[in-house]
């Protein structure tokens, strides 16, 4: 009987972003590390920059359509304009039932051939895969004029074990 694979230690990097354009650029750089089958979970309060980061991901992946917040449709699929994977952008804010509600979206079917980005996915999508990138965006609470964001990226699972997230700080 084969022993289960040992869990990989998380790969983590932190950086500071000082403008929406820098957040978008971070998304473009992050897109170069992503491939079909990747799950990216975005966490941060309203206005933190989750959709702005996803816009950059869409640009970096070369997908069709403007990336906007999918709050009212819950999920949007942006097909690739080239030979890369499509981007599935999910807003799980209004989904209260956790993975049961998420299963209704058939994300597990899309996961193998798409890059799936889930805003507000914490506590809702972790069971989809052991391999995921968690992005937490912090901003000064109550300060709507400060553009500074502190971003923590944590790669979990075998997929991210050898990823060099420090490339994103260049």
pLDDT in tens, 19-51: 999 999 999 999 999 999 999 999 998 889 999
* Mean predicted lDDT score pLDDT of the chain: 83
Q: Is residue 1 part of a domain?
A: no
> Rounded to 5, what percent of the chain is helix, strand, coil?
25, 25, 45
Indicate whether 97 pLDDT > 70: no
For residue 56, what are the domain limits?
Answer: 19-169
Indicate whether 68 pLDDT > 60: yes
Mean pLDDT of 60-87: 84
Q: Is residue 117 part of a domain?
A: yes
Instruction: Write the CATH number for 77.
Output: 3.40.50.300
Residue 60 pLDDT: 95
Q: Is residue 129 part of a domain?
A: yes
Mean pLDDT of 61-66: 90
- Give the total number of structural domains in the chain: 1
Q: Is residue 77 part of a domain?
A: yes
Q: Is residue 12 part of a domain?
A: no
Q: Is residue 13 part of a domain?
A: no
Measure Cα distances from 46 to 78, 91, 126, 139, 160 in Å: 23, 12, 21, 10, 27
Of the chain, the percentage scoring pLDDT greater than 90 comes to 49
Long-range contacts of 122-130 (CB under 8 A, 24+ apart): 122/41, 122/43, 123/98, 124/92, 124/95, 124/98, 124/99, 125/39, 125/41, 125/92, 125/99, 126/41, 127/99, 128/39, 128/99, 128/102, 129/39, 129/157, 130/7, 130/156, 130/157, 130/158
- Regarding pTM above 0.75, the answer is yes
* Enclosing H/E stretch for 20: helix 20-31
Residue 3 pLDDT: 43
Q: Is residue 9 part of a domain?
A: no
Q: How many CB atoms lie within 10 A of CB 138?
A: 16
Q: How many CB atoms lie within 10 A of CB 57?
A: 26
The pLDDT-based confidence of 149 (bands split at 50, 70, 90) is very high
Q: Is residue 115 part of a domain?
A: yes
What's phi and psi for 68, nearest 5 deg? -130, 170
Check residues 162 and 56 and name the one with the higher pLDDT: 56
Residue 87 pLDDT: 93
Indicate whether 137 pLDDT > 80: yes
Residue 93 pLDDT: 74
């Amino acid at each position: 009987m084969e022993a289960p694979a040992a869990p990989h230690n998380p790969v983590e990097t932190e950086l500071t972003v000082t403008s929406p354009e820098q957040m978008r650029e971070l998304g473009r750089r992050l897109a170069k590390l992503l491939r079909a089958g990747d799950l990216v979970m975005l966490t941060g309060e309203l206005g933190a920059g989750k959709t702005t980061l996803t816009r950059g991901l869409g640009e970096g992946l070369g997908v069709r359509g403007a990336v906007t917040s999918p709050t009212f449709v819950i999920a949007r699929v942006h097909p690739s304009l080239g030979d890369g994977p499509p981007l599935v952008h999910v807003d799980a804010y209004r989904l209260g039932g956790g993975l049961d509600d998420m299963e209704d979206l058939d994300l597990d079917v899309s996961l193998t051939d798409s890059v799936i980005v889930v805003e507000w996915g914490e506590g809702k999508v972790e069971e989809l895969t052991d391999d995921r990138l968690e992005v937490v965006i912090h901003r000064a609470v109550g300060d709507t004029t400060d553009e500074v964001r502190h971003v923590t990226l944590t790669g979990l699972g075998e997929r991210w074990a050898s990823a060099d997230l420090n490339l994103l700080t260049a």
